[in-house]
């Protein structure tokens, strides 16, 4: 899933200070799972904003909506009939949802309610961690199912570096060294000799470096 | 052994001499004479001098310019190049720039993470890793081509080196990792500072068991401690460093004013012992901001005078 964190309330107040009617739009997908932008967070943000405005002696009308997803036309269309009643919207979806809403509702100012961080997993309750950077050419088959691009601080394809200490990364003692994990798993799989295969220079053109990416499936296009 | 480049370091090693290299960190400013002064001081005691490339991610005068200064004063430079800050265009371009000044040695590194330096908020590049940089230099030199496949008009002629850390974890892949660097085309290795001699000897034995000592020149890295504080710092704070307790205790066991002398003594003793290790072909003496001590270390270790080879 896409992992996000709530933006500091003061930053959001700064965005909407000059408006009186605001639409808060949550998303029922990833940001709900990571407790950053679901129905509950929309409720909390609505109360926080109302209180902040009251303190400044201003009135605020807030409407709370949480959509199934904000990355599909179908669900974003659900607010078409009401959005024009509001001066501005705050989307608590990931950066994808915020932008898609802004594209669709061109005249309405749309602000982000979360900071979007990464594609990751719920390691345990309350702990999320990065697993993929969407490089567009998966190498997990060569690295024992552990991604050095997303999990090594230097994204070394032929690691580990000299800073790997007791299984941890040199930049943070809490962070597992991705290459230690790869080696441990290769050993478990009885394939430690695979470690000596040189991973070739990567073609980064399928990643961010190649410019904004798009997938077109002619068989599905209408 | 025959040589493949005009590198003096390569010639010395190929002739079977114990090589001695050292390194100088460029200044945090534009005073080029800082580097030439350091080099002037040690030049007769070493065969070549590494110039670090923004080590520990602290911004400094660039390695390439500093290496050119050494070259112009007749000292053999080893251009350190990290993949942290440059993509493959910049790396290849700097390699050609270096070649245009007849720099004949390069040390391929990934580089410390920028978090350690003065720009923790900066981007890092890591388009290539250190092993892929080794492959790149070899490809440019041996095939005469850019990574993109086009021909290079007068390819670089560089003796290709890399670092090896026998002490980082996991230990079991430290020799396989050396083998990977050799497979990528590395020709000389400078190791991390050695304080745990038993562990280094074990690493060398494991390398010898695979015949790796005959495929690459290994220069053992040594760094003298200036003080007991430095020994403790290296032990506890520097990632990938292995300083045994007895070394720290030996430093702390002498009065403060005697500690620098003790540090030099430990360093010289280490070199004496490492000279006997089969497969060690020379020494990389890193006297961090203490370059003047390189002279006595080299002299007391019986590595002076340096061979005259043109």
Rounded distance, CA B156 to CA B137, Å? Answer: 8
Which of A153, A184, A192 is closest, CB to CB, to B113?
Answer: A153
Within an 8 Å CB–CB cutoff, is residue A144 touching chain B?
no
CATH of B8-300, one of 3.30.70.260, 3.40.50.1980, 3.20.20.220, 2.170.150.20: 3.20.20.220
Residues in chain A: 222
Within an 8 Å CB–CB cutoff, is residue A139 touching chain B?
no
Residue B288's pLDDT is 86
Residue B11's pLDDT is 98
Confidence check: pLDDT of B289 > 90: no
Q: What percent of chain A has pLDDT over 90?
A: 97
What is the domain partition of chain B in residue ranges? 8-300
Report the residue of chain B nearest A173, measured CA to CA. B239
Rounded distance, CA B166 to CA B173, Å? Answer: 9
Q: Average pLDDT for residues B4-24, to the nearest whole number?
A: 97
Confidence check: pLDDT of B92 > 70: yes
Using one digit for the tens of pLDDT, what is the confidence trace for A36-83? 999 999 999 999 999 999 999 999 999 999 999 999 999 999 999 999
Using one digit for the tens of pLDDT, what is the confidence trace for B170-222? 999 999 999 999 999 999 999 999 999 999 999 999 999 999 999 999 999 99
Can you count the helices (H) and strands (E) in chain B?
11, 8
Report the residue of chain A nearest B116, measured CA to CA. A171
Q: Which of A161, A178, A184, A207 to mutate to test the interface with B (most CBs of B within 10 A)?
A: A161
Residue B265 is inside which H or E element, if any?
helix B259-275
CB contact under 8 A, B169 and A164: yes
Location of structure tokens 């020149």: B217
CB contact under 8 A, B165 and A162: yes
Within an 8 Å CB–CB cutoff, is residue A182 touching chain B?
no
CB contact under 8 A, A200 and B132: yes
Mapping DSSP onto H, E and C, the string for chain A reads CEEEEECCHHHHHHHHCCCCEEEEEEECCHHHHCCCCCHHHHHHHHHHHHHHHHHCCCCCEEEEEEECCCCCHHHHHHHHHHHCCCCEEEECCCHHHHHHHHHHCCCCCEEECEEEEEEEEEEECCEEEEEECCCCCCCHHHCCCCCHHHHCCCCCCCCCCCCCECCEECCEEEEECHHHHHHHHHHHCCCHHHHHCCCCCCCHHHCHHHCCCCCCCCCCCC
- Choose the weakest-confidence range: A204-208, B29-33, B159-163, B288-292: B288-292
- Relative to beta strand A110-112, strand A88-91 is parallel
- Is B144 within 8 Å of B155 (Cβ atoms)? yes
Confidence check: pLDDT of A174 > 90: yes
Rounded distance, CA B70 to CA B72, Å? Answer: 5
* Nearest residue to B81 (alpha-carbon basis) of B152, B202, B163: B163
Residue B2's pLDDT is 83
Q: What percent of chain A has pLDDT over 70?
A: 100
- Is A89 within 8 Å of A22 (Cβ atoms)? yes
Within an 8 Å CB–CB cutoff, is residue A154 touching chain B?
yes
Rounded distance, CA B224 to CA B226, Å? Answer: 6
- Choose the weakest-confidence range: A165-169, A175-179, B209-213, B298-302: A165-169
Rounded distance, CA B116 to CA B239, Å? Answer: 11
- State the distance between the two ends of chain B, measured CA to CA, in whole angstroms: 16
* Nearest residue to B7 (alpha-carbon basis) of B99, B123, B113, B131: B99
Burial degree of B56 (CB within 10 A; 0-12, 13-18, 19+): middle
How distant is the Cα of B247 from the closest Cα of chain A, in angstroms? 20
Q: What letters, b where the CB count within 10 A reaches 16 and e where it falls short, cover B116-147? A: bbeeeeeebbbbbbbbbbbbbbbbbbeeeebb
Q: Average pLDDT for residues B249-264, to the nearest whole number?
A: 97
Q: Average pLDDT for residues B40-57, to the nearest whole number?
A: 97
Q: Which of A151, A163, A188 to mutate to test the interface with B (most CBs of B within 10 A)?
A: A163
Report the residue of chain A nearest B237, measured CA to CA. A170
Which of B135, B169, B180 is closest, CB to CB, to A165?
Answer: B169
* Nearest residue to A144 (alpha-carbon basis) of A123, A130, A159, A133: A159
Residue B239's pLDDT is 81
Mean pLDDT of chain A: 97
User: Which residues on chain A are in Cβ contact (under 8 Å) with B111?
Assistant: 154
User: Which residues on chain A are in Cβ contact (under 8 Å) with B186?
Assistant: none
Q: What percent of chain B has pLDDT over 90?
A: 96
Domain spanning A2-118, CATH architecture: 3-Layer(aba) Sandwich (3.40)
User: Which residues on chain B are in Cβ contact (under 8 Å) with A204?
Assistant: 127
CB contact under 8 A, B168 and A161: yes
How distant is the Cα of B32 from the closest Cα of chain A, in angstroms? 30
Report the residue of chain B nearest A176, measured CA to CA. B169
User: Which residues on chain A are in Cβ contact (under 8 Å) with B170?
Assistant: 160, 164, 167, 180, 183-184
Given pLDDT bands bounded at 50, 70 and 90, which one contains residue B1? low
Given pLDDT bands bounded at 50, 70 and 90, which one contains residue B309? confident
How distant is the Cα of A11 from the closest Cα of chain B, in angstroms? 21
CATH 3.40.50.2300 placement within chain A: 2-118
Which of A154, A183, A196 is closest, CB to CB, to B110?
Answer: A154
Given pLDDT bands bounded at 50, 70 and 90, which one contains residue B240? confident
Which ipTM score applies to this complex?
0.94
Using one digit for the tens of pLDDT, what is the confidence trace for A106-124? 999 999 999 999 999 999 9
* Nearest residue to B240 (alpha-carbon basis) of B287, B177, B181, B283: B177
Given pLDDT bands bounded at 50, 70 and 90, which one contains residue A191? very high
Residue A222's pLDDT is 80
Rounded distance, CA B295 to CA A1, Å? Answer: 59
Residue with the larger pLDDT of the pair A95 and B238: A95
Within an 8 Å CB–CB cutoff, is residue A174 touching chain B?
no
The neighbouring-strand residues paired with A4 are A116
- Residue contacts between A and B (CB atoms, under 8 Å): 91
CB contact under 8 A, B113 and A201: no
Rounded distance, CA B268 to CA B223, Å? Answer: 10
**Backbone angle region of B74, left / alpha / beta, with phi > 0 → left and psi within -120 to 50 → alpha:** left
- C-beta neighbour count of B62 within 10 angstroms: 15
CB contact under 8 A, B124 and A154: yes
Residue ranges of E strands in chain B: 19-24, 48-51, 77-82, 105-109, 159-164, 188-193, 217-222, 280-285
Location of structure tokens 């691009």: A149
User: Which residues on chain B are in Cβ contact (under 8 Å) with A198?
Assistant: 131, 135, 180, 183-184
Q: What letter would DSSP give residue B141? A: I
CB contact under 8 A, B168 and A163: yes
Give A 199-218 residues with CB within 8 A of chain B: 200-201, 204
How distant is the Cα of B114 from the closest Cα of chain A, in angstroms? 9
């Amino acid at each position: 899933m896409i992992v996000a964190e709530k933006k500091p309330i003061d930053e959001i107040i700064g965005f909407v200070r000059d408006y009186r009617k605001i639409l808060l739009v949550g998303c029922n997908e990833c940001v709900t799972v990571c407790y950053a932008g679901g129905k509950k967070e929309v409720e909390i943000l609505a109360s926080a904003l109302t209180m902040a405005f009251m303190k400044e002696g201003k009135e605020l009308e807030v409407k709370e909506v949480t959509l199934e997803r904000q990355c599909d036309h179908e669900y974003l269309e659900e607010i078409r009939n009401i959005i024009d009643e509001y001066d501005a919207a705050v989307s608590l979806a990931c950066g994808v949802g915020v932008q898609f809403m802004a594209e669709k509702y061109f005249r309405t100012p749309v602000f982000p309610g979360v900071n979007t961080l990464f594609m990751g997993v719920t390691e345990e309750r309350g702990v999320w961690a990065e697993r993929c950077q969407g490089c567009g050419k998966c190498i997990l088959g060569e690295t024992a199912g552990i991604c050095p691009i997303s999990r090594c601080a230097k994204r070394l394809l032929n690691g580990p570096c000299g800073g790997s200490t007791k299984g941890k990364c040199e930049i943070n003692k809490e962070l597992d060294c991705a290459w230690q994990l790869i080696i441990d798993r290769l050993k478990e799989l009885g394939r430690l000799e695979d470690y000596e295969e040189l991973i070739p220079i990567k073609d980064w053109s399928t990643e961010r470096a190649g410019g904004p990416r798009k997938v077109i499936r002619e068989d599905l296009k209408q | 052994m025959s040589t493949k480049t005009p590198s003096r370091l390569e010639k010395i090693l190929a002739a079977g001499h114990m090589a001695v290299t050292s390194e100088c960190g460029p200044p945090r400013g534009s005073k080029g004479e800082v580097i030439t002064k350091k080099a002037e001081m040690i030049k007769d005691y070493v065969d070549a001098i590494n110039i670090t490339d923004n080590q520990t991610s602290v911004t400094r005068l660039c390695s390439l310019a500093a290496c050119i200064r050494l070259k112009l004063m007749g000292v053999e430079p080893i251009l350190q190049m990290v993949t942290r800050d440059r993509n493959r265009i910049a790396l290849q371009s700097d390699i050609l720039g270096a070649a245009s000044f007849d720099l004949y040695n390069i040390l391929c590194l990934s580089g410390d993470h920028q978090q350690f330096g003065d720009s923790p908020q900066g981007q890092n590049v890591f388009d290539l890793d250190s092993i892929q940089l080794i492959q790149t230099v070899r490809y440019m030199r041996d095939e005469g081509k850019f990574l993109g496949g086009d021909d290079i008009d007068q390819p670089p002629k560089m003796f290709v080196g890399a670092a090896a850390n026998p002490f980082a974890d996991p230990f079991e892949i430290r020799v396989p990792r050396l083998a990977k660097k050799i497979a990528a085309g590395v020709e000389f290795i400078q190791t991390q500072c050695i304080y745990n001699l038993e562990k280094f000897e074990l690493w060398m034995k494991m390398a010898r068991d695979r015949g790796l000592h005959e495929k690459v020149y290994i220069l053992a890295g040594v760094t003298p401690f200036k003080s007991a504080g430095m020994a403790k710092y290296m032990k506890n704070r520097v990632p990938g460093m292995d300083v045994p307790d007895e070394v720290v205790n030996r430093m702390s066991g002498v009065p403060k004013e005697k500690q620098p002398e003790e540090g030099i003594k430990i360093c010289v003793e280490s070199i004496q012992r490492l000279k006997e290790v089969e497969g060690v072909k020379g020494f990389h003496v890193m006297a961090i901001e203490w370059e003047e001590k390189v002279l006595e270390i080299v002299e007391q270790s019986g590595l002076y005078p340096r061979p005259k080879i043109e």
